Structure 1
Amino acid sequence: MKCKKDHCLYLKRWEVKGVKHILIVCVDVDDLTLAGSHPSSINDLKAKLSAKFTMRDLGELYYLIKMEIKRDLERNTLNLSQQKYINDLLDKFQMRDCTPVPTPQAKRVILRKEKTLTQEQIAARRLIKEGLVRGTRPDIANAVRELSKYHSCYSKTHYRVAQRVLKYLKGTSKYGIHYNGNSTFKLEPYSDASFANAYKERKSVTGYVSLLAGACIT
């Protein structure tokens, strides 16, 4: 059954002699990620798919969509990170030797719209577009949100702000999301808002986070 909220996700649930089963298939172009409650169910699905399509079984999932995936079956934990992708970005934008900073955003930096397009603006756009590592780094979500408002009106200031985000990522490249399967499986949503902090418009910014298994999912 296709998930109504995410059309790249397919789920099947059933019960046999009181035992609940679940199969999950995540589709990304021509890559399929299979997960399930029982290995036998996963193997059966792989056999059926292989009978209809030419497929290659890559085994245990370690890397997907620029995310590094580490499972500890003994401790029942799952870690998602993007250290390799961050290092690739540092190399691409020639910032491998930059000095890390403690925060993704600096105080008292006001971003304004610019009317002309310069090389710095083009570089800033590329950095923000390619540097969206928010999949495992919710700590830079607000910085990326602020920069993304100026996709067609960047300046040197925007580029320096974007570089700061990358400097922060360099110093925290090993950070990621840690899910604990032993914790209470309960959805915990939180939200907050600033007060009229937007330059000129004085609009407020609302933020939210949803936690599951001890870590962020949205």
Structure 2
Amino acid sequence: MAHQERVVALLRQPNSMIAEGFAFMEAQFVALHEDIYVAQPKGFEDPVHPNHVYKLRKAFYGLKQAPRVWYEQLTQYLLHHGYDRGSVDKRLLVKTTRNHVTIAQIYADDIVFGSTLQKYTDDLVEVMNKEFEMSIVGQMTYFLGLQVKQSSEGYFISQKKYAKNLVKKFELESSKTPRTLISTSTKLSKDDAGPPIDSTVYRSLIGSLLYLTASRPDIMFSFGMCARHQSAPKKSHLIAAKRILKYVRGTIKYGIWYSKESELSVTGYCDADWAGNIDDRKSTSGGCFFVGKELSIMAEQETKLNFSEHS
């Protein structure tokens, strides 16, 4: 929980800055810890030794082992400079200096970083540039499909562009937008007697909605109900899944707001539908936790309840 509190503290600072650093080819030329051989490139074979192979001295961009090697070297470099690895997310590195915090989040060959004090952000850039060739693009506005709006009051994270593309992909641009995700009277089941549908299309829709839950926790429960039926989807399941997407179309601007004025108190909520699955009588339980006013963690799990009679 300590790392979460530090990150929330970072978001609360009025002068904090989150920047996105890109490390492309130059950063991928890092030392290997294993022997790797590659065939000679076509058109560039050695005329004297046409059947020989090359032994790599360093990883290069495009090599399957390159992301892992790059991540290991970058992580060890930051740990050496006083950063601590996250206990849950190992790609999150945090450094505390007096009352300020600096974070670096690694994703493949991209890094999102920032600090509660501009000096420490500049120090991180200086430290990174000593070891790697990097391009700093400035304040983060878009990352991995997430749109980020930063202001003096806080941060708003959404997937408006992704949601629009999703609506267009499944040809629901002119559909009516329901006011709710799913009817309260709807109970999805295996629907063995229902007409089957193309499972590829259904799984594509479910997979697309799954990524949307990153900024739309409001659709998670209804999405979970639809996601259970990917092995043998029926028309009723597709109708329910498309209703979620229609709802998203009407709430396309929704997202998650992180205010800088939140307290660091932790509050949790949980609930269950008590044997809501009409096929096997399993219960779906869910919970969410807030750090101050901001949603921090949201989870859902299906559990089978055992009933017994007592005389």
Q: After TM superposition, give the deviation of residue 208 of structure 1 in Å.
A: 0.5
1:100 to 171, 177, 197: 177
2:103 pairs, out of 5, 11, 24, with 24
Q: Distance in 1 between matches of 2:281 and 2:173?
A: 37
**What is the identity, as a one-letter code, of the residue corresponding to 1:51?**
K
Residue in 1 aligned with 2:86?
A: 3
| Aligned length, in residue pairs | 212
Measure how far apart 1:131 and its partner are.
1.9
Q: Retained in 1: the 8 A contact 2:190–2:279?
A: no
2:293 maps to: 214
The aligned amino acid for 2:157 is L
CA RMSD between the two structures: 2.0
Contact preservation (8 Å) 1:114, 1:154? no
User: 2:209 is matched with which residue?
Assistant: 131
Equivalent position amino acid for 1:12 in 2: K
1:168, distance to aligned residue in structure 2 (A)? 0.6
Query: Where in structure 2 are there 5+ consecutive unaligned residues?
Result: 1-83, 298-311
Q: 1:114 Cα shift?
A: 5.8
For the structure 1 residues 35 and 113, does the alpha-carbon distance in structure 2 shift closer, same or farther, using more than 3 Å as the test?
Answer: farther
2:103–2:115 Cα contact (<8 Å) kept: yes
Q: What one-letter code is carried by the residue in structure 2 that aligns with 1:186?
A: S
Taking only the aligned residue pairs, the percentage that are identical comes to 26
For the residue of structure 1 that corresponds to 2:124, the secondary structure is helix
CA separation in 2, counterparts of 1:34 and 1:21? Answer: 14
**In structure 1, C-alpha distance between the alignment counterparts of 2:266 and 2:164, rounded to whole Å:** 33
1:82-97 map, 5 Å: 82-97=159-174
Question: What is the correspondence of 1:143-158 to structure 2 with a 5 Å cutoff?
Answer: 143-158=222-237
- Cα deviation, 1:13-41, whole Å, max 9, x if unaligned, reads 122xxxx1211111111110002111111
Rate the CA distance shift 1:67–1:96 in 2: closer, same or farther, 3 A. same
Normalised TM-score (structure 1): 0.90
CA contact (8 A) 1:113 1:153 kept: no
Tell me by how many angstroms 1:119 deviates. 5.3
Q: Does the aligned pair in 2 maintain the 1:180–1:213 contact within 8 Å?
A: no
- Aligned residue type for 1:189: G
Using the TM superposition, give the Cα deviation of residue 66 of structure 1 relative to its aligned residue in structure 2, in angstroms: 1.3
Q: List per-residue Cα deviations over 1:77-135 (Å, max 9, x = no partner).
A: 211111111001011111121211111122324231669x9653211110110222111
State the match for 1:179 in structure 2. 258
Mapped partners of 2:132, 2:168: distance in 1:
38
Gaps of 5+ in 1: none
Q: C-alpha separation between the residues in 2 aligned to 1:135 and 1:146?
A: 17
Give, as a single letter, the amino acid of the residue that structure 1 aligns with 2:246. Answer: K
SS in 1 for 2:198: helix
> Aligned partners of 1:180, 1:23: CA distance in 2, in Å?
19
Task: Provide runs of 4+ in structure 1 moved above 4 Å.
Answer: none
